[in-house]
């Protein structure tokens, strides 16, 4: 057995599996799958986005988080906001409409190429040129449209057809492709082949960088030569949380998700969930109130983190320690017990979701090496860079990432994200890797997955695909599959609920890999059905 992989599209997983068969390790497979996802899942992610990954190497027992999320552009540039390409697009979700902003000035500095290439160089076994071959071949031969990707493309049609070059990719026959048809990325195949030969330097200092900067300069963008040349990946030690005898390793800032899930686990730890029936009212009420308290704590974290960006005396590590301090957590633990005993909850603040278009890949190698990667490009900025096939993110057009207004952050500052690739250890040995797409639902999806495995000892397939809840803005979202009787009890207790008729990608996509059994050296994988999850076992 060479390893297992869980991902959001069959061709994404197949690319990683191909590399495992060719002698690559889990890092090689994860990098191969990520580049393939820019083709197979192009409506969710692209080569101009950002991401966060976590790697656990069993030979060194040293976990590391690679932060390659986007940064604010404009270094050594003039921020002339009066003449930028920055336009509103309305996306119709059926029950609601939501504005997004696209165009050249919606693009933050892309980090995903730098991150993947650095991971491959530092921890992979194969040459990058070989690792990228499956993605290159997929781009040439075409990626098959699945039901999940067709649904997302239909939602994002105004963006994916905004300019003629991008419309030519997504509507080559004058319409979006149907399920089973293919999308082709011949220009991007050439660019990826060049990256395979030259590494990330091509994208940040070489020919592709020059074309990105020229396009930005000519068409009202903010990205500069300095932005690309100075971009760097941040390697960090993960946040470590002890939860019922397990060690949960979570990404530190710029991941908001890692900090908030750590907080939720600390608050939840005092409640003996294993004595409750899974997805009963008693169980889901506890989760609802933990989610509420986490939402309430979030502005406090935002204030602490902001201080790390404006002063040399407070580091992100110190801010995390303060936020998760025993005295502070105990105040919320006490309030949780009071709420469950009948007290009124504290007032929840206005929610601040991030980009919803994310995807996740988890890989376990034969030697127990784990890699878990989440990437995002927002919704896509709506254009293509010259003849490179490169599309960029629209992170600067995400309203909720910029509560103080668009284009207000200082150039070079890293944006924050809810992305949260997680590794779980038992007795010092890795047993699980998971992450999720799904905006603010990332943290509620991962929290429930972890609890399903640890508190309820559910098999991985059940833990991933069990119906979930999400609490935000005073409403408990109850996914289809949760008993109507449970929903009735929520209403009887005065909760405002929304009953979903069936499971939905709104609730995230927790693609996971785990040890088959306690003490086993074999691994299993499960893809979340909500987001077209698929697996490969090699």
For residue range 345-368, list pLDDT tens digits in order: 998 876 654 445 789 999 999 888
Predicted local distance difference test score (pLDDT) of residue 22: 96
Predicted local distance difference test score (pLDDT) of residue 27: 98
Predicted local distance difference test score (pLDDT) of residue 352: 53
Angle, CA 361 vertex, CA 357 and CA 365 arms, to 5°: 175
Query: Does the active-site annotation cover 308?
Result: no
Active-site residue, from 71, 146, 358, 374: 358
Q: Note whether 2 and 20 are within 8 A (CB).
A: yes
Q: With cut-offs at 50, 70 and 90, classify the pLDDT of residue 398.
A: confident
- Parallel/antiparallel/unpaired status of strands 429-437 and 509-515: antiparallel
**How many percent of the chain have pLDDT more than 90?**
85
536's enclosing H/E stretch is strand 534-537
Predicted local distance difference test score (pLDDT) of residue 351: 60
Average pLDDT over residues 321-348: 95
Phi, psi of 462 (to 5 degrees): -70, -40
**What are the C-alpha distances in Å from 204 to residues 186, 223, 441?**
21, 11, 32
- pLDDT exceeds cutoff 60 at 386: yes
Question: pTM score, two decimals?
Answer: 0.95
User: Taking Cα atoms as reference points, which of 266, 380, 415 lies closest to residue 326?
Assistant: 266
User: Taking Cα atoms as reference points, which of 171, 182, 192, 180 lies closest to residue 143?
Assistant: 182
Angle, CA 168 vertex, CA 165 and CA 169 arms, to 5°: 95
For residue range 519-531, list pLDDT tens digits in order: 677 899 999 999 8
């Amino acid at each position: 057995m060479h390893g297992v992989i869980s991902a959001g599209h069959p061709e994404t997983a197949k690319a990683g599996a191909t590399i495992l068969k060719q002698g690559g390790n889990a890092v090689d497979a994860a990098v191969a799958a990520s580049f393939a996802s820019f083709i197979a899942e192009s409506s969710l992610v692209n080569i101009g986005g950002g991401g966060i990954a976590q790697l656990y190497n069993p030979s060194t027992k040293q976990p590391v988080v690679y932060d390659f999320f986007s940064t604010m552009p404009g270094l050594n540039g003039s921020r002339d906001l009066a003449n930028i390409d920055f336009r509103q697009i309305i996306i119709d979700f059926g029950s609601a409409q939501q504005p997004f902003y696209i165009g050249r000035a919606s693009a933050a500095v892309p980090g995903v190429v730098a991150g993947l290439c650095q991971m491959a160089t530092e921890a992979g076994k194969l040459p990058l040129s070989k690792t990228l071959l499956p993605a290159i071949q997929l781009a040439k031969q075409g990626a098959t449209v699945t039901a999940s990707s067709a649904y997302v493309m239909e939602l994002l049609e105004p963006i994916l057809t905004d300019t003629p070059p991008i419309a030519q990719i997504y509507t080559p026959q004058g319409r979006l492709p149907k399920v089973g048809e293919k999308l082709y990325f011949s220009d991007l195949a050439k660019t990826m082949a060049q990256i395979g030969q030259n590494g990330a330097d091509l994208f940040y200092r070489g020919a592709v960088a020059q074309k990105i900067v020229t396009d930005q300069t000519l068409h009202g963008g903010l990205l500069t030569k300095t932005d690309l040349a100075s971009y760097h990946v941040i390697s960090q030690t993960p946040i470590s949380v002890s939860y019922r005898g397990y060690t949960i390793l979570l990404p530190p800032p710029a991941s908001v998700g890692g900090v908030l899930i750590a907080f939720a686990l600390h608050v939840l730890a005092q409640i003996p969930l294993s004595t409750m029936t899974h997805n009963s009212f008693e169980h889901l009420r506890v989760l609802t109130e933990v989610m509420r308290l986490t939402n309430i704590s979030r502005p406090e974290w935002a204030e602490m983190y902001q201080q790390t960006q404006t002063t040399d005396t407070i580091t992100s590590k110190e801010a995390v320690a303060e936020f998760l301090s025993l005295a502070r957590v105990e105040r919320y633990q006490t309030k949780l017990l009071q709420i469950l005993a009948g007290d009124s909850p504290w007032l929840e603040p206005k929610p601040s979701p991030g980009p919803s278009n994310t995807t996740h890949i988890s890989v376990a190698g034969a030697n127990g090496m784990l890699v878990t990667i989440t990437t995002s490009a927002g919704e896509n900025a709506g254009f293509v860079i010259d003849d490179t096939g490169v599309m960029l993110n629209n992170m600067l057009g995400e309203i909720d990432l910029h509560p103080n207004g668009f284009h207000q952050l200082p150039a070079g500052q890293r944006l924050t994200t809810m992305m949260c690739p997680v590794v779980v250890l038992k007795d010092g040995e890795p047993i699980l890797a998971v992450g999720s797409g799904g905006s603010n639902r990332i943290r509620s999806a991962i929290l429930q997955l972890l609890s399903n495995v640890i508190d309820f000892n559910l098999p991985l397939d059940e833990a991933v695909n069990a119906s979930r809840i999400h609490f935000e803005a005073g409403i408990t979202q109850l996914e289809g599959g949760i008993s109507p009787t449970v929903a009735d009890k929520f209403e009887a207790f005065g909760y405002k609920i929304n009953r979903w008729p069936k499971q939905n990608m709104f609730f995230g996509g927790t693609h996971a890999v785990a040890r088959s059994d306690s003490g086993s050296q074999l691994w299993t994988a499960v893809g979340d059905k909500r987001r077209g999850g698929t697996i490969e076992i090699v």
